[in-house]
């Protein structure tokens, strides 16, 4: 059990979403913050950096959006499903676009391959929370 699941389990109020689905998504968001930051940085050190401009830019955006998604989902005291919904939709779009671009470079750059996987995982985890949101 991740520390995220542990700490959410101790929340004084009843969660509005399945604990496992929520914790998995939060973990994926922070994993994606890290991998997108590291991929954008590694891109800068590649000899073909000029072919990686879109990758760097999408990674930077994806990292920032995943960071705010991870913290918003970590707050369950006054959880607002309508707000979570639009935040998740933004995160899904960011991960999809970044995952697509990283995948294009996956054969030449191992960091892009790993980052594409992290983005796909985060995209799916956000969709899972979206489906689990109370209506």
Is 90 or 132 the residue whose CB approaches its own copies more closely?
90
Q: How many residues bind its own copies (CB under 8 A)?
A: 63
In the region spanning residues 54 to 83, those forming contacts with its own copies, defined by CB under 8 A, are 54, 56-58, 60-61, 63-65, 67-68, 70-72, 74-78, 80, 82-83
In the region spanning residues 18 to 47, those forming contacts with its own copies, defined by CB under 8 A, are 26-27, 30-31, 33-35, 37-42, 44-46
Contacts of residue 122, defined as CB under 8 A and 6 or more positions apart, other chains included, come to 25, 28, 29, 31, 32, 66, 91, 95
Backbone angles phi, psi at 106, to 5 degrees: -65, -30
The string of DSSP letters for 26-89 reads HHHHHHHHHHHHHHHHHHHTSTTGGG-HHHHHHHHHHHHHHHHHHHHHH--TT--HHHHHHHHH
Site residues for its own copies per CB under 8 A:
3-4, 6-8, 10-13, 26-27, 30-31, 33-35, 37-42, 44-46, 49-50, 53-54, 56-58, 60-61, 63-65, 67-68, 70-72, 74-78, 80, 82-83, 86-87, 89-90, 93-94, 97, 109-111, 114-115, 118
């Amino acid at each position: 059990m991740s520390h995220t699941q542990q700490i959410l389990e101790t929340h004084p109020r009843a969660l509005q979403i399945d604990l496992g689905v929520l914790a998995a998504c939060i973990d994926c968001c922070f994993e994606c913050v890290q991998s997108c930051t590291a991929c954008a940085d590694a891109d800068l050190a590649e000899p073909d950096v000029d072919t990686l401009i879109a990758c760097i830019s999408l990674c930077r955006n994806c990292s920032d959006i995943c960071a705010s998604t991870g913290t918003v989902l970590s707050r369950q005291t006054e959880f607002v499903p309508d707000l979570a919904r639009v935040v998740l939709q933004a995160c899904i779009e960011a991960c999809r676009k970044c995952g697509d671009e990283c995948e294009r470079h996956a054969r030449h750059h191992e960091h892009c391959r790993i980052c594409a996987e992290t983005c796909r995982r985060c995209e799916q985890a956000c969709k899972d929370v979206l489906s689990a949101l109370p209506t």
